[in-house]
Amino acid sequence: MIPAAFSYRRVSTVDEALSVLGEHGDDAKVLAGGHSLLPLMKLRFATPEIVVDVAPIDELRYVRVDGDAVAIGALSRYHDLHHDEVLREHAPLLAQVAGAIGDQQVRHRGTIGGSLAHADAAADLPAALLASGGTLVVRGPGGQREIAAGEFFLGPFTTPLEPDELITEVRVPVATGIGWGFEKFNRRSIDWAIVGVAVQGQAVGLINMGGTPVRATATEEALAAGASIADAAALAAEGASPLSEPHASAEYRAHLARVLTARALTAAAA
């Protein structure tokens, strides 16, 4: 499988990226690690005319504590995030989730900004960012804006990002010492989760339980009202609309959501 023909452009600064994106608009796609975009291009589901390789932008590769937040450069790879000591201490949920994505080879390429921009409800990081209360920092021709994770995932593969905007940073509140849990059920490591659950404190993000990553709000409200983990987790699939497809029925996914939420909450409380 070979992608449809395109023109490759390589940029080494954010300004340069914005200039190329501004010039080509919808015809251009941003390439970071390429592990979401290139498979789609090989299947010809995506046929951009211009591919803008942002990987050389070294200024977007960092993890640091910035006030009461952990700031993560958008081009940080899963492998780097999983082994980053700052992230492990101050945002351990994200560090753990980054190490559970795909396999060794995928983690050497995939980036946090790329995964979030792709906005696949079956991906691990979007739900983890929801549970972390994270924010995306986006730059475009009009300057910089911040979008809360809860307002970023609008639909399947759909975000408020404009074609001439670039995610430059991901910010999560410092979560040092806050309990967390992550559970993912899949057939092989290289598959997307059939269902996954990311928990930080009493925030619960669900993977692949609908067209977007979602919070298990009924569970969160029950916990806030003092319910036990078992009783709260029993509500994990309330309001979710998971797909039925050959790998798993919607009913099975709802069951998994309840079981995995209980496990993740138990881990977070331990």
Give one DSSP letter per residue of 126-176, joined into a string.
HHHHHHHT-EEEEEETTEEEEEEGGGT--BTTB-S--TT-EEEEEEEE--T
Q: Which of residues 184-203 bind another protein (CB under 8 A)?
A: 188-190
Which are the contacts of 94, defined by CB distance < 8 A and separation ≥ 6? 72, 81, 87, 125, 128, 129, 132, 172
- Contacting another protein (CB under 8 A), which of 35, 118, 171, 253? 35
Q: Of 3 and 211, which CB lies nearer to another protein in the complex structure?
A: 3
| Closest residue by Cα to residue 213 from 115, 81, 120 | 120
Residue 94, H or E segment: helix 92-98
27 makes contact with another protein (CB under 8 A)? no
Q: Among residues 98 and 136, whose Cβ is nearest to another protein?
A: 98
Which range of residues in 99-107, 215-223, 232-240, 261-269 is near another protein by CB under 8 A?
99-107
Dihedral, CA atoms, 117, 122, 124, 128, nearest 10 degrees?
Answer: 80
> To which residue do tokens 């092989």 refer?
188
Q: 266 near 229, Cβ under 8 Å?
A: yes
85 binds another protein (CB under 8 A): no
Taking the complex as a whole, the smallest distance from the CB of residue 55 to another protein amounts, in Å, to 7
Draw the binding track, 148-187, toward another protein (x: CB under 8 A; -: no contact): ----------------------------------------
| Least distance in angstroms from the C-beta of 213 to another protein | 22
Interacting residues with another protein (CB under 8 A): 1-8, 10, 31, 34-35, 38-39, 41-42, 51, 53, 55, 79, 102-106, 108-109, 188-190
